[in-house]
Amino acid sequence: MSAEFRMERDSMGEMRVPAEALYGAQTARAVENFPISDLRFPRDFIRAIGLIKKHAAATNTALGLVPPAIARAIESAAQEVIEGRWDAEFVVDIFQTGSGTSTNMNANEVIANRAIELMGGRRGDKSVHPNDHVNRGQSSNDVIPTAIHLATLDGVVHRLIPALSELQAVLEGKAREFDPVLKIGRTHLQDATPIRLGQEFSGYAAQVANAISRLRDACRRLGDLPLGGTAVGTGINTHPEFARRTIAGIAAETQLDLREAPNHFAAQGAIDALVEAAGALKGAAVALIKIANDIRWLGSGPRCELGELKLPATQPGSSIMPGKVNPVMCEMVIQVGAQVIGNEAVVSFAATFGNFELNTMLPVTAHNLLQSVSLLTSAAAVFSARCVAGLQADAERCESMIERSLAMCTALAPVIGYDKAAAIAKAAYESGRTVREVAKEMSGLDPVRVDELLDPRRQTQG
C-alpha cells in the first residue's frame, strides 16, 4: 500500500481506506457504492448521532458491557463528533441504503478510530471495535430513526420555534402600531368592507402563533425515540435497561422531552411522527407564504400601486431599471416555502415505504426534514429582522381608497335591505360617484344616518 492508503478489513474482505481518514472499510465501501450526489447528512444529524453514541457508551459501561477505559475513549471521541470536529469524515451520500446503515457505520468507524487514537493505538487496529463497542446494544434500524427524531426535535425546539416566536412578536407589534390605520379590505382580490391595518396584521401574527402550536404538538411524538428496538423492534442483543438509560442521558444533555417509544414495531416499521412533523413544517411554510405574499402586494409600487405599506429597501432591484427596489425578502420567504412544501411531499412518499418491520427511506427523509427546519429557521429570522420590523404604513394612501369602495354599501343592507343597497352600489359604479353620495339621494335615510352607517371605523368594529 502507498502512503496515501491503509488496508482495513470488514466482513466482506479487505478494503483500501485513505490513510488519514478516521472512517474505515465499510464507509470506504459505501463511498464507492453510492457516488450519487453531493448531498451529505447535515450538522444537526451528525450531532444527534454523536449524542446517541456518547450516551450509549456511558450506559454500556454502567451495565458492565463495555470496559470503562474503552467507554471513556468512545465518549470523548463522540463528544468531538457532537462539537463538529469531524464533520468532514461523514462522507456517505444521502442516497444510499434505505436504513442508513452506511452512515451508522460511518459514525461507528470514525468514533472507534478516534477512540483508538485517544488510547494510544493505531487507526484501524480494532482495539476499539466499531460494532462490538461503539454500536453495542444498537442497530442502524433504531439508531438512524432515533437520530432523525432527535435532530428534528432539537432544531424545532431550540431554533425554529424561537425564530417564529420572534416573528410573531414583531407582527404583534406592527398590529398595535398599525391599529389606527383604516384601509379597505379585499376578498377575491376585489374591494370589500373596511378593515384596520392592525387587524390585518393581527391575523398574520395569529397564523404564526398557530404554526408554533402545531409544531409543539408534533414535538410530543418526536420525543418518542425508536432506540432499543434494534433490528426489528424486539430489542434483540440489547440490555433491557439500555434504551431507557441512554435516552435519559441524551435528554439531560439536550434539555429535550425524550422517552423510549411505547411500541418499537410502530417506531421502526413506520415514520408517522416524522410525517406529522413534516406536515407541521409545511403548515408553517404555507403561513409564511401567505404573510409574505400579502406584504409583497400591499407594498407594490411605489407610484402605480396598492402602496399601503412601505417596505424597507434592502438592495437594488434591477440590472436595467435604475432606482427600482424589489420586495426581495418576501420573495425569499415564498421560495423557501415552496421548497418546504416539496420536502413534505418527499417525506410523505417515504413513509409509504414502511415495509413490514422497517422503513427503507430514512436518509432521504432526514435530508428533507432537516432542510425544512433549517430553511424555515433562517427565513423567519431574516424576514422578521430585514422586512417586517421595518414596515411602515402609508395611512393617507390606505384611507384615501376607502371612500371609493362600492362595498361600503354593505353597512346599509341591514337597514334598507339588500336589493336597495345593491341598487345604490350599481348606481355609484355607473356614475363614478361614491356610495355615500348616492345613498344620500336613494336610500330614503337622513344624511346624518347615512354618514353614521358609512363610518368606516364603525364598520371595522363588528
- Domain definitions of the chain by residue range: 21-136, 142-234+269-397, 405-459
Q: Identify the sign of the CA torsion 89, 93, 98, 102.
A: negative
What per-residue confidence (pLDDT) applies to 322?
66
pLDDT in tens, 351-399: 999 999 999 999 999 999 999 999 999 999 999 999 999 999 999 999 9
User: What nine digits make up the cell of 68?
Assistant: 470503562
* Neighbour-count burial for 310-334, b at 16+ CB within 10 Å, e otherwise: bbbeeeeeeeeeeeebbbbbbebbb
For 41-58, the pLDDT digits (tens) are 999 999 999 999 999 999
CATH of 405-459, one of 1.10.40.30, 3.90.1150.10, 3.50.50.60, 1.10.10.60: 1.10.40.30
pLDDT at 1: 47
pLDDT at position 353, please?
97
CA 103-106-110 angle, to 5 degrees, is 150
**Which stretches of the chain score pLDDT less than 50?**
1
Residue type, 264: H
Q: Cβ distance 140 to 101 under 8 Å?
A: yes
What are the DSSP E strand ranges found in 274-420?
309-310, 354-355, 358-359, 392-393
CATH T-level assignment (fold) for domain 21-136: Fumarase C; Chain B, domain 1 (1.10.275)
- pLDDT for position 273: 98
CATH of 142-234+269-397, one of 3.40.190.10, 3.20.20.70, 1.20.200.10, 3.30.1550.10: 1.20.200.10
| Residues with a known catalytic role | 188, 318
Nearest CA among 190, 174, 181 for reference residue 400: 181
| Residue-level pLDDT at 326 | 87
Kindly state the helix (H) or strand (E) to which residue 184 belongs, with its residue range. Answer: strand 182-187
